[in-house]
Amino acid sequence: MATGSRWTARLAIMLVAGTLAASAFAQTAGEVLLYGKTDPGARSGGRLTIGSLTEPPAMDPYHQAADARIRVTVLSYQGLFYESASGEAIPLLAESFTVSPDGLTYTIKLRQGVKFHTGQTMSAEDVKYSYDYLRDPKNGSPGAGDFSTVQTIDAPDAQTVVFRLSSRNGLLPITLTHRYGGVIPKDYFATPDARARLNQQSVGTGPFKLKQFRQNSVLVFEKFQDYWQKGLPHLEEVTFAFMPNSAAMVVAARSGRVDMGIFTRPQDAEQLTSTAGLKLVRTPSMNQKSIDLGSEHPILKDERVRQAIALAVDKEAVMKASISGYGQVLGTMVAGMQARWGLPLSEVPNQKVDLGRARRLLAEAGHPNGFEIDLTTIITYDWMDAAAVLIAEQLKQIGIRVNIKKVELGVWVRNFQSKQMGFTFNDWPSSPDPSLLFYRHFRATPMGADFRNWNNAQASALLDRGREESDYAKRREIYNEFQKMLASSVPTIMMFSSDLLAVERDRVRNHQQHPTGWYFGVVKTWVAN
Amino acid sequence: MLRFLLPRLASAALAALVSSLVVFVLMRSVPGDIVGQMLGQTIDPTASAALRTFFGLDQAMHTQFVDWLARVLQGDLGRSWYQGQAVTRMISEAFTVTLQIALLTLVLATLIGVPLGVIAGIYEGRRLDAAIQAFNLIGLSAPVFWVGLMLLVGTSAFFNWSPPFAWRSPSEDLADNLAIVLLPVLSLAVLQAAAYSHFVRECMVGELRRDHVRAAFAKGLSPAQVYFKHALRNILIPLVTFMGMILIQILGGTVVIESLFSLPGLGRLILSGIQGRDYPVVQGALLFVVLIAISVNLAVDALYGLIDPRLRR
């Protein structure tokens, strides 16, 4: 952690000065942190089997937004930077970078001797091709929107890539991480059946190569022998076993068919804590379980109604009821980023239950006797069922009568994308940066998507400034101000982050879960025999 | 033969066409599509339009249907929008899993259910009959899902054993394959054996009261000869019909069992296709299911002729 923050401080100074050549120290410090902490006692070899309740729909990092896809493709594909657990962008396929004084030109030196799974050596042309493909909306990638400020990408020589921006964008490095895309060989998508072939063969530079993907069954990765980080990964093979239900997973973990099970419901994981040789590991995450309040709704468009709802919701009680307390109550920042970016919980408005004020606000808004409203929950999201019942009880106290409406995920996504969210639960993950967390969701159109029709000009201005600024202290101030606005105007109620739950066998060593829930930690995991 | 086949084939083709059309329209009426799922939180109109064109979703619905049908008639079910694999190949891989489960279940259920039913019929009204009827009642009323779950949790608790999770076909690894299918087949077979036993008992009881059976006894034939030659033979026709129905029922029942035991069968293929809005997979797989149901019925009809020569005319 100490090296991490020193690196951050350096990064900030370097960016402000606008001239930099990353020092040898910074690189080493960064490299040590790539994929989590290094275990000096790690041994190489062996296989690891991980039970997973979610399955990627496909293995294409360019055209699949599903979080279940990102979790596993981070093992095969790499960006220019790595998003550390604490939210910094550490050079990965990049070796160092400089920013011009006006903040509009990023010159990135690439790491040498990086090989693709196809055997070719990575060059600047490949990097240019990859990011040009990703950012062109005509190619239909969900990541295109993150690159709206990028004007051109050039490759002046084999080891240098230059990004030119139309306006300052301090989070370019964190954008060049792993959510979408990754560096692949030039012109890959021009080859026949390119998208489909990604399900059989990986073409990235990551530590693991795809060996087999059998839908509704298993996903197998094998060690990439020519991987550029010497000595990594430790494991020869990693198998993900897809379990359609938690009963099968509990049984598989108990009988030793899987070495590790990633659970979503604490009550399932708890069944295994008494089994010898198994331990439950909790990691704070970057997901959020929230209630969204869309302003297109005739009642919810009144800010006072939204505030009243916020004042009636007891987050702690909802968390206990829905995930047995295996999580962290939130203010306006996800748990994994609270320390670095969160407004201190004591300063967040509208967090303490205050039924008196809530009733007064409702009366002022013209609903002295409350009103009736549909609360949408999503089928298969178990936590929402318990939470909905409790929220209905809590809101009844201020006269709001809640009808619980269950919808299928596809239906919910359609409503979300067409900005007809109404009053709904939401469950979403984040990349480790406040701009990546907030911008698309809360920035007014056309720059953002503003799913909740919040249309808040002040908040939008803050989000724009936060994106342009690259100084950490200043950014923190901007986002603190934004969070105050979010909590007082209540387009959303961020309730809690559920912890990531892994049940591990004794032989599994040094597995550190990344707060995103993506399987970065497997790179430095090893097994004892 | 032609007179037997032609009308049946014509109605089969019509059934397949109508059901395909219904599936096609239904899938597209369900809110949300693959583009929404692929883009997640992104709502960039250019990206969305590009993907719609890529999948042909920008075409009018009837154009899409005619295109799909034209390719189906040439034996091409298209490719999965997610996996990129040929749908025919995905179906055949998934169906071998489901078929193995279904056939083993059918064999096991027949081996258990038919003798039980015969015995219950012979011992009608006595204690053995009551015991078998109790088994039937339990088997018929226990949901497959519950039986499967109990077997799974039970074997884990008592033997600290659970089936391997990665599917292996019998040719890949027979021991693993049998270990994988053991519990699913058992859970399905319990239910079907009960259904069988119940059905056979009813037939047997009815048959044993008929005149020719009494006459056979009066003639002095041994009970074994009477039961097997005179009674059992007559219930073969209803039994074959029943087997066909059971087979179709098992094929349907595997959806639940495949989900419970992580088997990559046809049911889960269809389910994940529906969830992901993978239209080619859903349309192809459901068309296949319809064809299977039709062929089983045809086969049953044809079998009648073999068993009972009077029906050949």
pLDDT, tens only, A110-168: 999 999 999 999 999 999 999 999 999 899 898 888 898 899 999 999 999 999 999 98
Quickly state the pLDDT bin for A74 (edges 50, 70, 90).
very high
Mean pLDDT of A414-439: 90
Closest approach of chain A CAs to the CA of B70, in angstroms?
22
A54 interaction partners in chain B (CB closer than 8 Å): none
User: Which one, of B311, B208, B313, B189, lies nearest residue B257 by Cα?
Assistant: B189
Higher-confidence residue of A299 and A243: namely A299
Out of B31, B47, B156, name the one closest to residue A254 (CB).
B156
The residues facing A423 across adjacent strands are A293
Query: From residue A117, how far is each of A80, B19, B210 by CA, in Å?
Result: 17, 45, 76
A contact residues 289-328, partner B, Cβ 8 Å cutoff: none
Out of B47, B85, B164, name the one closest to residue A141 (CB).
B47
- Find the closest chain A residue to B42 by CA distance: A142
Task: Give CA–CA dist B298/B240, Å, rounded.
Answer: 12
Instruction: Reply yes or no on whether the pLDDT at A11 is more than 60.
Output: no
A contact residues 24-53, partner B, Cβ 8 Å cutoff: 51
Counting other chains too, the contacts that B59-66 makes at CB distance below 8 Å and 24 or more residues apart are B61/B24, B61/B25, B61/B28, B64/B24, B65/B21, B65/B24
A63 interaction partners in chain B (CB closer than 8 Å): 38, 51
- Find the closest chain A residue to B82 by CA distance: A58
Instruction: Reply yes or no on whether the pLDDT at A21 is more than 60.
Output: no
User: Which one, of A290, A295, A289, A256, lies nearest residue A272 by Cα?
Assistant: A256
Question: What pLDDT is stored for residue A264 in this prediction?
Answer: 87
* Contact across the interface for A244 and B268, Cβ inside 8 Å: yes
A191 touching B (Cβ < 8 Å): no
Task: Give CA–CA dist A521/A127, Å, rounded.
Answer: 25
| 3-class DSSP string for A76-131 | CCCCCEEECCCCCEEECCEEEEEECCCCCEEEEEECCCCECCCCCECCHHHHHHHH
Query: From residue A510, how far is each of A291, A439, A505, A515, B81 by CA, in Å?
Result: 35, 34, 12, 15, 38
Counting other chains too, the contacts that B123-129 makes at CB distance below 8 Å and 24 or more residues apart are B124/B201, B124/B205, B124/B208, B129/B201
A440 interaction partners in chain B (CB closer than 8 Å): 41-42
pLDDT digits (tens, 9 = 90+) for B261-275: 889 999 999 988 998
* Alpha carbon B277 to chain centroid, angstroms: 23
Cα angle A72, A76, A82 (rounded to 5 degrees) comes to 85
| Interface A:B, Cβ pairs < 8 A | 162
Helix (H, G, I), strand (E, B) or coil at A489: helix
Question: What pLDDT is stored for residue B190 in this prediction?
Answer: 87
Quickly state the pLDDT bin for A365 (edges 50, 70, 90).
very high
User: Which one, of B269, B295, B252, B279, lies nearest residue B89 by Cα?
Assistant: B269
Residue with tokens 């919040």: A454
Instruction: Reply yes or no on whether the pLDDT at A8 is more than 70.
Output: no
A148 touching B (Cβ < 8 Å): no
Task: Give CA–CA dist A270/A250, Å, rounded.
Answer: 10
Question: What pLDDT is stored for residue A9 in this prediction?
Answer: 41
Question: What pLDDT is stored for residue A14 in this prediction?
Answer: 39
Q: Give yes or no for a contact between A229 and A34, defined as CB atoms under 8 angstroms apart.
A: yes
B169 touching A (Cβ < 8 Å): no
User: Which one, of A182, A207, A194, lies nearest residue A115 by Cα?
Assistant: A207
* Contact across the interface for B275 and A242, Cβ inside 8 Å: no
For A57, the token pair is 């729909």
pLDDT digits (tens, 9 = 90+) for A164-220: 999 988 889 999 999 999 999 999 999 999 999 999 999 999 999 999 999 889 999
Q: Give yes or no for a contact between A427 and A416, defined as CB atoms under 8 angstroms apart.
A: no
Question: What pLDDT is stored for residue B143 in this prediction?
Answer: 87
A409 touching B (Cβ < 8 Å): yes
Question: What pLDDT is stored for residue B5 in this prediction?
Answer: 76
Mean pLDDT of A452-480: 94
Instruction: Reply yes or no on whether the pLDDT at A20 is more than 50.
Output: no
User: How many residues would you count in chain B?
Assistant: 313
Question: What pLDDT is stored for residue B129 in this prediction?
Answer: 94
* Contact across the interface for B32 and A413, Cβ inside 8 Å: yes
Question: What pLDDT is stored for residue A31 in this prediction?
Answer: 57
Task: Give CA–CA dist B246/B293, Å, rounded.
Answer: 11
What ranges make up the beta strands (E) of A380-487?
A: 400-407, 423-428
The residues facing A371 across adjacent strands are A400
B275 interaction partners in chain A (CB closer than 8 Å): 409-410
pLDDT digits (tens, 9 = 90+) for A246-292: 888 999 999 999 999 999 889 899 989 889 899 999 999 999 999 99
B contact residues 122-151, partner A, Cβ 8 Å cutoff: 149
A417 touching B (Cβ < 8 Å): yes
Closest approach of chain A CAs to the CA of B136, in angstroms?
27
Out of A63, A255, A451, name the one closest to residue B160 (CB).
A255
Residues of chain B predicted below pLDDT 50? none
A275 interaction partners in chain B (CB closer than 8 Å): none
What ranges make up the beta strands (E) of A204-335?
A: 208-214, 218-223, 237-242, 260-263, 278-283, 288-293, 327-329
Instruction: Reply yes or no on whether the pLDDT at A35 is more than 70.
Output: yes
* Contact across the interface for B275 and A65, Cβ inside 8 Å: no
Task: Give CA–CA dist A115/A278, Å, rounded.
Answer: 37
Out of A65, A216, A244, name the one closest to residue B39 (CB).
A65
Q: Give yes or no for a contact between A450 and A416, defined as CB atoms under 8 angstroms apart.
A: no
Residue with tokens 């529906």: B274
A449 touching B (Cβ < 8 Å): yes
Task: Give CA–CA dist B261/A1, Å, rounded.
Answer: 43
Question: What pLDDT is stored for residue A3 in this prediction?
Answer: 37
A409 interaction partners in chain B (CB closer than 8 Å): 32, 275
Q: Give yes or no for a contact between B144 and B188, defined as CB atoms under 8 angstroms apart.
A: yes
Task: Give CA–CA dist A522/A130, Å, rounded.
Answer: 25
Half-sphere exposure of B15 (CA within 13 A, CB side): 16
B contact residues 41-60, partner A, Cβ 8 Å cutoff: 41-44, 46-48, 50-51, 54
* Alpha carbon B291 to chain centroid, angstroms: 12
Task: Give CA–CA dist B309/B313, Å, rounded.
Answer: 8
Question: What pLDDT is stored for residue A19 in this prediction?
Answer: 35
Half-sphere exposure of B93 (CA within 13 A, CB side): 18
Instruction: Reply yes or no on whether the pLDDT at A504 is more than 50.
Output: yes
Q: Give yes or no for a contact between B132 and B126, defined as CB atoms under 8 angstroms apart.
A: no
Sheet harboring A492-498: ordered strands across?
A327-329, A492-498, A288-293, A423-428, A371-378, A400-407
